[in-house]
């Protein structure tokens, strides 16, 4: 129960502004301590996680303790983003909770096969959303032990040097 009483960052990737607003309101109404941040698609999610562009400053884009990921988004959908996250040595330890409208068995199977930690179908009512948010908070931040948070993502220079067989000084 290492995270109890500590504010950890939750990163939600969802292109539906109304869903993001409802989740934010559910966190506020439940009086939860977590810092929740939002990105609108898989491309923006990967930019955040790799600290590119607007997310280059780690003070403004802290490593998330968990990711809430919608599947159906423009540019890069959640399925593709999940595969990228779980194939990246730096990112693969971040739990990814699928939070989507899909109930398709194919999606459920594919997400777990790709490394998703949980698959949750978005609730229909706000009352149900309040309960889901409360359960996510309790499970991920009070019950399970998460890996230690790393303060920084490898920079583009460090990645280039590693790929070239060099070490960064």
Predicted structure pTM score: 0.83
Cα–Cα distance measured from residue 89 to residue 47, given in angstroms and rounded to the nearest whole number: 16
Q: pLDDT, tens digit, for every residue of 107-127?
A: 999 999 999 999 999 999 999
Q: What DSSP element (H or E) covers 81?
A: helix 78-87
Total structural domains within the chain: 1
Backbone φ, ψ for residue 88 (5° rounding) = -95, 120
- Asked whether the beta carbons of 82 and 96 are under 8 A apart, the reply is yes
Q: Is residue 3 in a domain? A: no
Q: pLDDT, tens digit, for every residue of 81-101?
A: 999 999 999 999 999 999 999
- Asked whether the CA dihedral 76, 78, 83, 87 is positive or negative, the reply is positive
Q: Is residue 93 in a domain? A: yes
Q: Is residue 26 in a domain? A: yes
Q: Is residue 135 in a domain? A: yes
Q: Is residue 57 in a domain? A: yes
- Asked whether the beta carbons of 125 and 31 are under 8 A apart, the reply is no
Q: Would the pLDDT of 19 be above 50?
A: yes
Q: Is residue 98 in a domain? A: yes
Q: Is residue 36 in a domain? A: yes
Range of the domain at 101: 9-163
The CATH code of the domain that includes 76 is 3.40.50.2300
């Amino acid at each position: 129960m290492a995270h109890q009483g500590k504010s950890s960052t939750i990163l939600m990737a969802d292109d539906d502004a109304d869903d993001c607003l409802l989740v934010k309101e559910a966190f506020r109404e439940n009086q939860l301590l977590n810092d929740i941040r939002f990105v609108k698609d898989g491309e923006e999610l990967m930019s955040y996680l790799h600290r590119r562009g607007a997310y280059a400053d780690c003070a403004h884009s802290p490593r998330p303790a968990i990711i809430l990921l919608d599947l159906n988004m423009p540019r890069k959908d959640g399925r593709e983003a999940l595969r990228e996250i779980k194939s990246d040595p730096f990112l693969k330890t971040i739990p990814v909770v699928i939070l989507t409208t899909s109930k398709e068995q194919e999606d459920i199977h594919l997400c777990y096969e790709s490394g998703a930690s949980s698959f949750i179908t978005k609730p229909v009512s706000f009352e149900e959303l309040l309960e889901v948010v409360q359960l996510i908070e309790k499970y991920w931040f009070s019950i399970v032990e998460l890996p230690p948070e790393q303060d920084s993502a490898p920079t583009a220079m460090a990645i280039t040097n590693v790929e070239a067989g060099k070490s960064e000084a």
